[in-house]
Structure 1
Amino acid sequence: MNLADARTAVVHALGRMHTLYRQPLFDEWVLVKLARETGAILAYEGPRADSYQRRFKTDIAPLQVEMEGRKMAVGDFEFAPNAHGAHFDACIRLGPAAYLFCNHTAKSMTEIRADAHWLSAQKPFVELAAKFREDPLE
C-alpha cells in the first residue's frame, strides 16, 4: 500500500469508529516510520500539530512498555490501557517499519473501554489492522 492509500484507509476507519462510538474515539493519530537510526513522521492529524513532535518519544512510552518483548507482525496492534493525556493509547504495525499511533487526548483506553459503544467501535480498528496485514505500507 502506498502512503496516500494508507492515509485514506486510516481516516475512513477512524471516522467509522467515531460514528459507532458516538463521539470522537481517537482525536489524534500519527503515521510514522521507525528505524534504528532515524524516524520520520508520515502524516499527523490532531489538536497538537505544533507540539506533538517534541514529545513524541515520551508520548509513545506507555505503548513501548506494552509492546516490549513482542515481535509485532504487520497488522498486529497493541493498547496502553492507562496512558493518559498526550500519551498514545493504541498502535497498529502497518508495514516493515511503519506504525499508526492513536490517542484520545482526554481519556485513557480504560475510560474508552468503559463505554458500551467501544464494543462496536473496535470492529473498524480490527478491519484496518487486517487491511494492512494483507497490503502493508511500503
Structure 2
Amino acid sequence: MNQAAAADRIETALISLENAIGEPVFDEWALVEKNEGGWKLVEYGGSRKDDFLADFNDDIAALRGTLDPANTGIGDFAFSHEGHGTGFDAHMCVGENLFVLFNNTAKSTGEITSNPKWTSAQIHFTELLEAFIADPIS
C-alpha cells in the first residue's frame, strides 16, 4: 500500500469508528517512521501539526515501550491507558519501521472504551489493522 492509500484507509476507518460510537474516537493520527536518527513524521491527520511535532517526545511516553521496531511486526498494536490529553492512545505497526499513532486529545483511552458502543465499534479498528497486514505500507 502506498502512503496516499494508507491515509485514505485511516481516515475512512476513523469516520467509521466515529459513526459507530457516536463521537470521535481518535481526533488525530500520524504515520511515523523509526530510523537511525529517531522518529520521522511521514503523514499527519489532525488540527495541531506544529504542536504535535513540538510535543512528540513527551506525547509518545506512554507507548514508548511498545514502539520498538526490533520487537514489533506488521500487525502488532497496542493501547495505552496512560495517554491523557495529547499523549498518544494507541499505535499499530503498518510497515517496516512504520507505525500509525492514534490520539484523542479530549479523552483518555479509558473514557473512550467505557462507551457501551466501543465493543461493537472495534471492528473498524480491526479491519484497518487487517488491511495493513494484507498490504503493508512500502
TM-score scaled by length of structure 2? 0.92
1:1-138 pair list within 5 angstroms: 1-67=1-67, 71-138=71-138
Aligned residues: 138
Question: CA offset at residue 130 of structure 1?
Answer: 1.0
Q: Tell me if structure 1 keeps the 8 A contact 2:93–2:99.
A: yes
Query: C-alpha distance in 1, partners of 2:9/2:132?
Result: 9
Q: Tell me if structure 2 keeps the 8 A contact 1:60–1:88.
A: yes
Question: CA offset at residue 95 of structure 1?
Answer: 0.2
Task: Give deviations 1:61-90, integer Å, cap 9, x for gaps.
Answer: 10113557x822101110001210010000
In structure 2, stretches of 5+ residues that fail to align are none
SS in 2 for 1:26: coil
SS in 2 for 1:100: strand
Query: C-alpha distance in 1, partners of 2:44/2:67?
Result: 22
Letter aligned with residue 82 of structure 1: E
TM-score scaled by length of structure 1? 0.92
Question: CA offset at residue 41 of structure 1?
Answer: 1.2
CA RMSD of aligned residues (A): 1.7
Describe the shift of the 1:114–1:48 C-alpha distance in structure 2 as closer, same or farther (beyond 3 A). same
Question: CA offset at residue 49 of structure 1?
Answer: 2.1
Query: C-alpha distance in 2, partners of 1:55/1:91?
Result: 17
Q: Tell me if structure 1 keeps the 8 A contact 2:31–2:98.
A: yes
Query: C-alpha distance in 1, partners of 2:92/2:117?
Result: 21
Letter aligned with residue 24 of structure 1: P
Question: CA offset at residue 15 of structure 1?
Answer: 0.8
SS in 1 for 2:102: strand
Question: CA offset at residue 60 of structure 1?
Answer: 0.9
